[in-house]
Amino acid sequence: MRAKNAKTIFLLGAGASKDSNIPLSSEMGREMVNFESSEDLLDAYQDRQRRALRFIAGGLAFKAGMENYDPFYGVDVEALFNAADHLARRTSLEVSPFISAWHPAIKELECPADYQAGEKIRQLARHIFEPESVGYSKDFSNLLLGLPVDAGEFSGGSIPGFHSSFYTAFASAVKTITGQTSSVLFEELKFTMIGLLQEIVWIDPRASDSFSRVDYIKPLISFCKNNEASIATLNYDNTLELASEALSIEIDSGIKEWSKNGELSYSESSINLFKLHGSVDWRLVEETPTAKNPIPFQRIKIGNPSNDENSLPAVIFGQANKLTTEGPFLSILIKFKEALHAAEELVVVGYSFRDKHINQILSEWLNGNENRLMRIVNGKWHLYNLPFYTSEYGHLLRSRIKIEKLQANEFYAQLENR
């Protein structure tokens, strides 16, 4: 069936999961730049990836200081990913023809492994400083170093073997050190970051503390069930699913039906859940055409990511491409927009108002009806990100926006009395 016409919709951001010990965006960024791999054999490459992350984080902190923001506050994990994505694609960006040089540290990070470059340099050094080993006289070494030589030694006008051994070694070493680099490091870094995201936000249901971590969410689930309210979330975690499971209340993201026929559909008895940016327990699977579905299509496989370490979750990560047509994401956004326009109240919990496409939907909703109310929980700190509230016309919205100076767990507890 179609999504319910709920009078109240909750929109959850990262702050809504903070009380379950899932870090905020800036805290995730800090965890990622200090990540450790469980694979000992990958230590050298892991170190390069960690150096690359710290290089990006340093650049973003510098940018924050230049824009008069606190550079020590922390780097947003999505900005970190976005920068890695741009560096991976930098040679194909429209602006690349106008950039004469990138930061030298990028080339240093992407150069081949040290032992390869070191071996080329050692070969070159042997040709210069040990000429006897390749059949040259001592004066050949002096000639290369600009030192006095016997004038008769090379009176024939040519240097024996110069265009063979020495030239080959010299050219090989120079190409190794200064040759064109690839963007493989930053491309693979993106996949590493998505894998780390999964480790950070996933709560394994088999863990002894899994359900106790989401106890504070239970009043929200009960309220939505009793009042036919819906939930939209920008988070990738499984806190809502765990809390509803603990209460034996069905919550439906519509993904199972989407995987069958490409259309989101919700169980009539369930709480409607719009996971706008995906979920760490989703895997996007490519399906081959059949008589029923003659065009190649995709479906979502749902399962414990701890049991599937060889594939990446279906999530929209980073500040770009959040309107992708791949997978179910555009369909979910459309369903959320339809449900929101039928609602009278929107409760925003822990959202920092930094997603422009979400802000645009909220702006249209506020403008659509003067009786609509947006309740922002723990949102006063984030209001500087809310352009339609802080603009010169912001005073016109004061009757339509109410600020709740509460943490998520405090606000959820009050829902029991509503």
Judge if 187 and 250 occupy the same domain: no
What integer pLDDT is reported at residue 309 of this predicted model? 65
Domain that holds residue 145: 114-178
Q: Which residues contact 188 (CB under 8 A, 6 or more apart)?
A: 49
What phi and psi values does residue 9 have, to the nearest 5 degrees? -125, 135
Q: Is 345 helix (H, G, I), strand (E, B) or coil?
A: strand
- Position 163 scores a pLDDT of 44
In sign, the C-alpha dihedral spanning 374, 377, 383, 385 is negative
Q: Assess whether 323 and 349 both reside in one domain.
A: yes
The CA-based angle 310-313-319, given to 5 degrees, is: 130
Nearest in space to 82 (alpha carbons), one of 193, 179, 183: 193
Residue 104: inside a domain: yes
In a domain, 121, yes or no: yes
3 domain-assigned? no
Per the prediction, the chain carries an average pLDDT of 81
225 and 141 share one domain: no
Whether residue 2 is contained in a domain is answered as no
Q: Does residue 279 lie in a domain region?
A: yes
The residue among 195, 229, 261 that closes a domain is 195
Q: Which residue has the higher pLDDT, 310 or 283?
A: 283
Look at residue 304 and tell me if it is in a domain: yes
The two three-digit tokens of residue 290, written as one number: 């059949």
The verdict on 269 and 152 lying in the same domain is no
Tokens at residue 111, please? Answer: 């150069």
How many CB atoms sit inside 10 A of residue 292's CB? 6
> Based on the domain organization, do 223 and 328 belong to the same domain?
yes
Considering the domain architecture, whether residues 343 and 230 belong to the same structural domain is answered as yes
Residues 401 and 372 in one domain: yes
Q: Are residues 287 and 373 in the same domain?
A: yes
pLDDT, tens digit (0-9, with 9 covering 90-100), for 332-353: 999 999 999 999 999 999 998 8
Number of domains in the chain: 3
CB-side exposure of 66: number of CA atoms within 13 Å?
A: 6
> Is residue 1 in some structural domain?
no
Pair (319, 213) in one structural domain: yes
Establish if 305 belongs to a structural domain. Answer: yes
Q: Is the pLDDT of residue 45 over 80?
A: no
pLDDT tens-digit map of 74-90: 888 989 999 999 999 99
* 317 and 410, same domain (yes or no): yes
**CA distance readout (Å), 164 to 169, 174, 381:** 9, 16, 69
Same domain for 128 and 44, yes or no, is: no
